[in-house]
C-alpha cells in the first residue's frame, strides 16, 4: 500500500522526546472518586471562579508541603538516589493549536502552594491563550526541541538524571486532564514522579481522580492517604479561597 510520508513536526517531536524519556519508568496508578460538594458550592458562588487545573495544582502542592515524598524525584546521576526538592514545581499539560496543528505543551508553575489561586489560574490561562512565543516555558522547550537528536537526548538526560535539574525542567508533579473535551479516565505517562488526572464532575458531586507515580519513589499506601488529603484540601483551603475572592451579586426578584 502506497501512502504519503509526513515530516514529524516540532510539536510531535516534543511528544516523541517525552515518550522516550518516560520509557522504563515503573508507573503504578491509584484512582478514586472524591466528594467535592463544598468546593463546587464555593466555585458556583464565585465571581471569577478558577479553573479545575489551577485548583488541582494548588491543592496537590498544599498536600506536598506536608508530604515531602510528593516533592521527591528519582535521579540516576552521579548514582541512583532519591532527591527531595525544597518546593513543589507543577507541569500543566496545555492543549494548544500551533501552526494549525493540535499539540500539548507543558507549562511550569513553581511553588504554587505559595501563590494565590487566582495567580495560578492566570498562569494557566496565559499559557492557553498567549502566542506560543510569548510564553517563556514554551520558548525554552521549543529551543531544546529544535536541537539535533543526539543533543536533544543529552539535554533530556541531564534534565532527568540530576536531581536539581529535575525541578528546573520537569517539576515534581504534573497535571493533565481531558475533562474539558468530554471526560474519560486518562492515564497519561511522563518521566515522573507524579501525575494527577481528573475527570468531569458527576451528578452526585464527585470527581474521579487518578494519580500515577514512580514506584521507585513511594508505595500505594502513602498515595491513598494523599487522595484523602487532596479531597480535604479541595473542600477546605481551596473552597475557602474561592469564597474569599468574592461572590456573585444576588439579584433581587420583583414581587
Residue 252, pLDDT above cutoff 90: no
What pairing do the DSSP bridges indicate for beta strands 173-176 and 89-98? Answer: parallel
The answer for residues whose C-beta is within 8 angstroms of residue 186's C-beta and 6 or more apart is: 176, 177, 178, 197, 199, 210
Assigned C-alpha cell, 3: 501512502
Residues belonging to the chain: 255
The arithmetic mean of pLDDT across residues 216-238, rounded, is: 97
CA distance 153 to 168: 17
Residue 181, pLDDT above cutoff 90: no
* pLDDT value, residue 221: 96
* pLDDT tens by residue, 52-70: 999 999 999 999 999 999 9
Return the minimum-mean-pLDDT range out of 86-100, 117-131, 165-179: 165-179
* pLDDT tens by residue, 189-206: 888 899 999 999 999 999
By three-state DSSP, how is residue 118 classified? helix
Mean pLDDT of the chain: 92
Amino acid at each position: 500500500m502506497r501512502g504519503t510520508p509526513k515530516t514529524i513536526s516540532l510539536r510531535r517531536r516534543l511528544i516523541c522526546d517525552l515518550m522516550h524519556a518516560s520509557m522504563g519508568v515503573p508507573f503504578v496508578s491509584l484512582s478514586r472518586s472524591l466528594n467535592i460538594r463544598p468546593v463546587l458550592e464555593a466555585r458556583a458562588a464565585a465571581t471569577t471562579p478558577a479553573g479545575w487545573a489551577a485548583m488541582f495544582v494548588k491543592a496537590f502542592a498544599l498536600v506536598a508541603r506536608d508530604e515531602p515524598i510528593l516533592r521527591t524525584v528519582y535521579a540516576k546521576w552521579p548514582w541512583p538516589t532519591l532527591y527531595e526538592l525544597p518546593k513543589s514545581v507543577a507541569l500543566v499539560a496545555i492543549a494548544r493549536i500551533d501552526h494549525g496543528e493540535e499539540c500539548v505543551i507543558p507549562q511550569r508553575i513553581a511553588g504554587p502552594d505559595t501563590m494565590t489561586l487566582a495567580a495560578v489560574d492566570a498562569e494557566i490561562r496565559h499559557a492557553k491563550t498567549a502566542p506560543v512565543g510569548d510564553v517563556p516555558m514554551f520558548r525554552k522547550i521549543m529551543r531544546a526541541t529544535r536541537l539535533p537528536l543526539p543533543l536533544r537526548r543529552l539535554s533530556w538526560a541531564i534534565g532527568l538524571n540530576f536531581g536539581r535539574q529535575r525541578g528546573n525542567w520537569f517539576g515534581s508533579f504534573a497535571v493533565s486532564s481531558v475533562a474539558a473535551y468530554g471526560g474519560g479516565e486518562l492515564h497519561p505517562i511522563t518521566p515522573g514522579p507524579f501525575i494527577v488526572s481528573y475527570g468531569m464532575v458527576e451528578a452526585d458531586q464527585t470527581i474521579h481522580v487518578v494519580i500515577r507515580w514512580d514506584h521507585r519513589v513511594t508505595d500505594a499506601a502513602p498515595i491513598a492517604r494523599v487522595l484523602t488529603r487532596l479531597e480535604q484540601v479541595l473542600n477546605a483551603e481551596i473552597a475557602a479561597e474561592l469564597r474569599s475572592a468574592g461572590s456573585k451579586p444576588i439579584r433581587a426578584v420583583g414581587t
